[in-house]
Structure 1
């Protein structure tokens, strides 16, 4: 069983326990693991980053499932869960429901992922810039470019993203 399969099984287990606890909502996958989902494992991430407003419930579930806490990270074997505190994406951010093996996961939208990645790209991370180009090329017909441009925080990000869009779509 691959690490990705183990990670998906861990997410299924966490979702199941949160549902059993009576929560009407499930965590949203964010960060590099969202990138893993959208690249279908081509970009592997060692950490699963989860965003969930009820942090006490999430930490209780992780403890019950045998995870050990190390700061914002919870580990069990080779599975590492990060409790994300990027709550700024909640008011405007959206998520997609992605089905894998009959199981539905909440994953931050590609647009919000791209907006978040632009911070690292404009800071000089060329690998992230290349990944942004790949995502634009892969998801262009479905991307809400208006939403992306509305939510990019600085002029440099807007200029660079427009450049990437032009490069990848021409």
Structure 2
């Protein structure tokens, strides 16, 4: 079983345990692992980053599933999970539900992921800039650029997005 398959299996187990605890909401995948989901594994991330309002419950679930806390991370074999309740990581406040092997997982919206990645791009990370270009080309029909422009705080980021959007339409 590949690392990505193991990661998806772990997410499904976490979702199942949270549901058993009586919660109707499940964690949202954020960060580089969201990029892994959108790139369908082409950009592998070794850390599963989850956003959830009840950190105590999520920590209890991870512990019950055999994860061990090491600093800010929870590990089990080669799996690493990072948890947060910083909902400001989702500027537009939206997420997508994506079907993976018949199960639904919550992933930060592509727009929010692109906004987050653009911060790294304008800081000089050319690899991230290239990844943004790839995502824009792959998903240009599905991306709500108006939502992106509404939520960008940095003028330089707006300019870069417009440039990448133009490139994608060539």
Distance between the aligned counterparts of 2:53 and 2:129, measured in 1?
A: 30
- The secondary structure found in structure 2 opposite 1:105 is strand
Query: Which residue is equivalent to 1:18?
Result: 18
Q: CA deviation at 1:79?
A: 0.4
Which deviates more from structure 2 when the two are superposed, residues 60-69 or residues 86-95?
86-95
Query: Which residue is equivalent to 1:82?
Result: 82
Question: Does 2:164 correspond to 1:164?
Answer: yes
Distance between the aligned counterparts of 1:91 and 1:36, measured in 2?
A: 20
TM-score by length of 1: 0.97
Distance 1:77 1:37, change over 3 A: same
TM-score by length of 2: 0.97
Query: Is the contact made by 2:92 and 2:147 (CA closer than 8 Å) also made in structure 1?
Result: no
- Shift >6 Å, 4+ stretches: none
- The secondary structure found in structure 2 opposite 1:66 is coil
Q: CA deviation at 1:153?
A: 1.4
Q: CA RMSD in A?
A: 1.1
Question: Does 2:2 correspond to 1:2?
Answer: yes
Distance between the aligned counterparts of 1:123 and 1:54, measured in 2?
A: 32
Q: 1:4-153 to 2 correspondence within 5 Å?
A: 4-90=4-90, 92-153=92-153
Distance between the aligned counterparts of 2:110 and 2:82, measured in 1?
A: 20
Q: CA deviation at 1:71?
A: 2.1
Q: Identify unmatched segments of 5+ residues in structure 2.
A: none
Q: CA deviation at 1:87?
A: 1.6
Query: Is the contact made by 2:90 and 2:112 (CA closer than 8 Å) also made in structure 1?
Result: no
Q: CA deviation at 1:85?
A: 4.1
Distance between the aligned counterparts of 1:77 and 1:89, measured in 2?
A: 28
Distance between the aligned counterparts of 2:128 and 2:91, measured in 1?
A: 25
Distance 1:92 1:53, change over 3 A: same
Q: CA deviation at 1:152?
A: 1.0
